[in-house]
């Protein structure tokens, strides 16, 4: 069975590749109502961790729980050893991810009866996900028994769904799509060139720190302030967040007031919708600022959609807030299109990518640069060397490799790898800089074999050393593997960035 799985921050959606059709799977909630999603939540029951609708039901009853745990994956300090607290227990984050995805796999088999064969999936990942985030996600799916055929950036997948549904909007004059993807925990925008079923990502921008969850927090905090209640206990705050989320999701364009249940208050707190929209306007504006480099400017200097863009395609659960669509339409006009499957567009696009008969192809971008800090002058100077630019072309169908060769000049080489969103005029990484591993390579053959702890060896300049080859490979999941090799002896050290 071929699937597209959008592992979302607040909701996970699944679409099936079925003879040229890509329906979203429906799952039964605790009331046996059909929902085209599984809540991305874990709660602690007497029997241990539970997930999805059961966890959401227990959370409303005060059980210890974690919502939006996927957002923890985007932290700059996360790795495969990261842990989370749940009801006084310390649990490896990878166990939470794999436990939830195992629940997803079981739910898919139940919803798609008869489930045909093994579960093979193309899965989504935020465009600006760093290597550790990609590694943990991939490992979670592997442990869940789901064969990941490819991992595709979420806005790139939504571009497939746009082309599949709105083919006639693309013509010889307008050949590009600008995807605006505001999810529960992240925002991504990608400019995609579409030539029939051949897609190429021309540019991508993202922010891992803004999403629909932030609208919930803003509304909950505002309601608490309006109610006059003081500080809440942890379980009360969670109930308030749940109420704010439900109230936000009930809004429609004509809504004038939104009512939020504040724990301890005798009646719901009523808030004018305009005041709420004013409150979250800076969050919406931050997404536009993130997207700015993908736009052009008119004669007056105002940002506008490039003339060759057929549509600004609005997807992601967070974009369902009416204020988002209203802001985009007022800023960019009639070429703003909202997917009819706002929260499911990415899953549908992923299912299209999972279908070999669909014939879609994708050339994407790395989105994050990869570089290394190196020792110079016997360790007295540290310099930065960019290795893979953020515009490096990658593909979900093949690996991309970059090779460098040089003579070693020191006894030990320390490689301190980072991923970054941009560099300054001097080539130094700026913006969000994520450490993704340190590798020590003994250039001096006498330091190899494990008898000497390289960590304790002082870096010294030795002159003409062995011929060294650095090989950087971006696999089909967007994960970078580095291999350092002494060409003359064959001694080699290999590591996936973000593994530790």
pLDDT tens-digit readout, 121-148:
999 999 888 888 999 999 999 999 999 9
CA 434 from chain centre, in angstroms, equals 14
**Closest listed residue to residue 217, CA positions, set 11, 73, 49, 10:** 10
Last residue of a domain, one of 341, 364, 387: 364
Note whether 98 and 230 are same-domain residues.
no
Dump pLDDT digits (tens) for 45-92. Answer: 999 999 999 999 998 888 899 989 999 998 888 888 899 999 889 999
pLDDT score, position 380:
62
- pLDDT, average across residues 143-158: 95
Q: Poorest-confidence range of 155-164, 318-327, 367-376, 484-493? A: 367-376
Note whether 198 and 129 are same-domain residues.
yes
Note whether 106 and 70 are same-domain residues.
yes
Q: How close are the terminal C-alpha atoms of the chain, in Å?
A: 33
- Which domain range does residue 245 map to? 212-283
Note whether 383 and 396 are same-domain residues.
yes
Dump pLDDT digits (tens) for 420-435. Answer: 988 888 778 887 888 8
Note whether 243 and 376 are same-domain residues.
no
Q: What tokens appear for 460 in the block?
A: 């010294």
Q: Is 316 left (phi over 0), alpha (psi -120 to 50) or beta?
A: left
Helices assigned H by DSSP within 401-471:
none
Most confident range, picked from 65-79, 210-224, 236-250 = 210-224
Q: What confidence tier does 116 reach under pLDDT thresholds 50, 70, 90?
A: low
pLDDT score, position 484:
97
Note whether 337 and 313 are same-domain residues.
yes
**Alpha-carbon distance values, 111 to 44, 103, 104, 108 (Å):** 24, 12, 10, 5
Q: How many domains does the chain have?
A: 3
Most confident range, picked from 9-18, 228-237, 380-389, 472-481 = 9-18
Note whether 193 and 235 are same-domain residues.
no
Last residue of a domain, one of 263, 283, 303: 283
pLDDT score, position 140:
96
- pLDDT, average across residues 471-498: 93
DSSP letters for 335-395: GEEE-TTTTTHHHHHHHHHH-GGG--EEEEE--SEEEEEEEEGGGTEEEEEEEE-TT-EEB
Instruction: For 476, list phi and psi in degrees, rounded to 5.
Output: -70, -10
Would you say 26 and 19 are in contact if contact means Cβ atoms under 8 Å apart? no
Note whether 142 and 263 are same-domain residues.
no
Note whether 290 and 377 are same-domain residues.
no
Would you say 399 and 390 are in contact if contact means Cβ atoms under 8 Å apart? no
Beta-carbon contacts of 86 under 8 Å, excluding residues fewer than 6 positions away, are 42, 44, 49, 64, 65, 66, 96
Separation CA 231–CA 221 (nearest Å)? 10
- pLDDT, average across residues 148-161: 94
Percent helix, strand and coil across the chain, each to the nearest 5: 30, 35, 30
pTM for this prediction: 0.90
The CATH number covering residue 183 comes to 3.30.420.40
Place of tokens 């993130």: 290
Question: Judging by beta carbons within 10 Å of its beta carbon (0-12, 13-18, 19+), is residue 499 exposed, middle or buried?
Answer: middle
Separation CA 217–CA 221 (nearest Å)? 6
Note whether 326 and 378 are same-domain residues.
no
């Amino acid at each position: 069975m071929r699937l597209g799985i959008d592992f979302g921050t607040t909701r996970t959606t699944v679409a099936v590749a079925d003879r040229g059709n890509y329906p979203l799977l429906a799952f039964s909630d605790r009331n046996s109502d059909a929902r085209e999603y599984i809540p991305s939540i874990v709660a602690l029951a007497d029997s241990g961790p539970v997930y999805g609708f059961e966890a959401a039901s227990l959370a409303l009853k005060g059980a210890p729980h974690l919502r939006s745990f996927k957002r923890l994956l985007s932290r700059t300090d996360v790795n495969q050893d990261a842990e989370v607290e749940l009801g006084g227990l310390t649990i490896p984050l990878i166990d939470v991810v794999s436990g939830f995805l195992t629940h997803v796999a079981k739910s898919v088999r139940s919803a798609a009866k008869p489930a045909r064969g093994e579960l093979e999936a193309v899965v989504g990942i935020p465009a600006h996900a760093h290597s550790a985030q990609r590694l943990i996600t991939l490992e979670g799916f592997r442990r869940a028994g789901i064969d990941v055929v490819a991992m595709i950036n979420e806005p790139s997948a939504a571009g497939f769904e746009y082309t599949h549904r709105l083919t006639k909007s693309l013509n010889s004059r307008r050949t590009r799509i600008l995807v605006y993807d505001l999810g529960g925990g992240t925002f991504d925008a990608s400019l995609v060139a579409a030539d029939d079923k051949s897609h190429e990502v021309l540019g991508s921008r993202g922010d891992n720190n803004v999403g629909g969850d932030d609208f919930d927090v803003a509304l909950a905090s505002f309601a608490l302030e309006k109610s006059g209640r003081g500080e809440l206990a942890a379980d009360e705050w969670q109930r308030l967040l749940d109420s704010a989320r439900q109230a936000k999701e009930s809004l429609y364009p004509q809504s004038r007031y939104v009512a939020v249940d504040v724990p301890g208050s005798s009646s719901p707190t009523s808030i004018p919708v305009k005041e709420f929209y004013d409150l979250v306007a800076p969050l919406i504006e931050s997404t536009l600022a993130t997207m700015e480099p993908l736009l052009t400017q008119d004669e007056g200097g105002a940002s506008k959609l490039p003339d060759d863009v057929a549509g600004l395609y609005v997807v992601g659960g967070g974009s369902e807030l009416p204020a988002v669509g209203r802001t985009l339409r007022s800023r960019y006009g009639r070429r703003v299109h909202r997917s009819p499957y706002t929260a499911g567009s990415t899953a549908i696009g992923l299912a299209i990518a999972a279908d070999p008969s669909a014939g879609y192809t994708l050339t994407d971008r790395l989105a994050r640069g990869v570089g290394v800090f190196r020792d110079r002058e016997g360790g007295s100077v540290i310099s930065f060397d960019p290795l893979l630019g953020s515009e490096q072309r990658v593909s979900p169908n093949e690996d991309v490799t970059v090779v460098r060769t040089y003579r070693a000049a020191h006894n030990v080489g320390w490689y301190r790898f980072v991923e970054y969103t941009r560099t300054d005029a001097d080539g130094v990484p700026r913006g969000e800089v994520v450490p993704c591993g340190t590798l020590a390579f003994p250039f001096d053959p006498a330091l190899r074999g494990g008898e000497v702890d390289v960590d304790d060896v002082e870096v010294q300049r030795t002159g003409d050393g062995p011929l060294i080859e650095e090989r950087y490979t971006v696999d089909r999941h967007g994960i970078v593997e580095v291999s350092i090799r002494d060409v003359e002896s064959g001694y080699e050290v290999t590591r996936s960035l973000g593994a530790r």
